[in-house]
């Protein structure tokens, strides 16, 4: 989250919505009030997702809160760790007036990644777009 929040204001992404479970909202607000997250040019809104809806996936949350999304947006999962430069992808999206862009990669980080080092089989991601 920190990397994206640092990236966003400098790349003309002025409105940031962070969707969090309601039990994590207070902690996220506390973190955003620290100097590490001081972005005066960005408007950061925390959207609380009810505990009764905690089994929702990303698409369910986006569908439920669609009225809050009023322009182009970037979706980043909470477990997405990368040192990839997203600026070229956003530039291409804007230059071609694209409807949809997606970063697909086996490895999005070239350096060490925190957390347990488990080997997992390669999964498949299927993406469906309805235009």
The whole-angstrom separation of Cα 34 and Cα 60 is 30
Q: What was the pLDDT predicted at 98?
A: 87
- Exposure on the CB side of residue 18, measured as CA atoms within 13 A: 22
- The residue among 51, 76, 44 whose CA lies nearest residue 62 is 76
> What per-residue confidence (pLDDT) applies to 86?
77
The pLDDT value given to residue 1: 54
How are beta strands 43-49 and 15-21 bridged, if at all?
parallel
Whole-number pLDDT of residue 121:
57
Q: What is the pLDDT of residues 68-113, one digit of tens each?
A: 888 888 887 777 767 777 788 888 888 888 888 887 777 665 666 6
As given in the structure block, the two tokens for residue 58 are 């990303």
Q: Cα(112)–Cα(125) distance, rounded to whole angstroms?
A: 24
Q: Of residues 117 and 86, which shows the higher confidence score?
A: 86
Task: Give pLDDT, residue 104.
Answer: 76
Residue 32 above 60 pLDDT? yes
Cα–Cα distances in angstroms (integers) from residue 90 to residues 48, 68, 97, 100, 131, in the given order: 27, 21, 10, 11, 20
- Which two tokens mark 53? 């809806």
Contact 42, 16 (CB under 8 A): yes
Reported as a pLDDT band with limits 50, 70 and 90, residue 23 is very high
Averaged pLDDT for residues 5-33: 79
């Amino acid at each position: 989250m920190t990397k994206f929040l640092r990236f966003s204001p400098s790349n003309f992404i002025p409105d940031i919505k962070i969707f969090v479970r309601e039990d994590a909202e207070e902690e996220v607000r506390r973190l955003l009030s620290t100097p590490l997250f001081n972005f005066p040019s960005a408007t950061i809104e925390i959207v609380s997702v009810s505990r009764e809806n905690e089994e929702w996936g990303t698409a369910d949350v986006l569908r439920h809160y669609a009225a809050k999304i009023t322009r182009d947006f970037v979706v980043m999962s909470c477990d997405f760790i990368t040192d990839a430069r997203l600026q070229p992808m956003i530039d291409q999206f804007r230059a071609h007036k694209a409807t949809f862009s997606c970063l697909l990669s086996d490895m999005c980080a070239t350096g060490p990644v925190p957390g347990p080092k488990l080997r997992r089989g390669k999964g498949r991601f299927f993406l469906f777009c309805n235009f």
